[in-house]
Amino acid sequence: MKKQPQRKCVGCGHMKDKRDLIRVLKDEEGIISVDLTGRKNGRGAYLCRDQACLKMAEKNHGLEHSLKTRIEDSVDASLEAQFQTFPSGENDSLTEKRPVRCPRSPAGAGDLGSSMEGGVTV
Ligand SMILES: [Zn+2]
């Protein structure tokens, strides 16, 4: 088994597998974004998939130090918004996109629809 390279979260400071971390990237134009592929060019900083770590990185300026840039509040806000979309803990669900089910809207006969939904409940 191949060992994953470890990176340090700039928020909590823990070492983790690179794949368990979010890469925040500053590209050549100085634009900060979340790099989900981990392959884009630029300077990267790593954070746990956790908004708490993002907040810590903002407070201790770990992100700014790693990226060697000043991070505007608006950038912080957009990063936070992107972190909100990450499911905490369950990394696998990131790659596995679930198809969106569109339940057939009962046209007229409402009682017919309910029997079809029985097996879907989680
Ligand atoms: Zn962390």
**pLDDT tens sequence across 111-121:** 554 555 555 55
Residue 15 Cα to ligand 1 middle (Å): 8
Residue 35 Cα to ligand 1 middle (Å): 16
Whether 36 is in a domain gets the answer yes
Residue 79 Cα to ligand 1 middle (Å): 15
Q: What percent of the chain has pLDDT over 90?
A: 57
Q: Which domain holds residue 53?
A: 1-85
Residue 108 pLDDT: 54
Whether 40 is in a domain gets the answer yes
Residue 119 in tokens: 């097996």
Residue 114 Cα to ligand 1 middle (Å): 44
Residue 99 pLDDT: 56
Residue 103 pLDDT: 66
CA distance 65 to 63: 5
Residue 82 Cα to ligand 1 middle (Å): 16
Residue 3 pLDDT: 80
Residue 18's contacts (CB-CB under 8 Å, 6 or more residues apart) are: 4, 5, 6, 7, 38, 46
Whether 109 is in a domain gets the answer no
Tell me the one-letter amino acid at 41: N
**Residue 41 belongs to domain with CATH number:** 3.30.1230.10
Whether 115 is in a domain gets the answer no
Residue 117 pLDDT: 54
Confidence (pTM):
0.67
Residue ranges in the chain whose pLDDT is less than 70: 87-122
For 42, what's the count of Cα atoms within 13 Å in the CB-facing half-sphere? 24
Residue 53 Cα to ligand 1 middle (Å): 5
Query: What is the number of domains present in the chain?
Result: 1
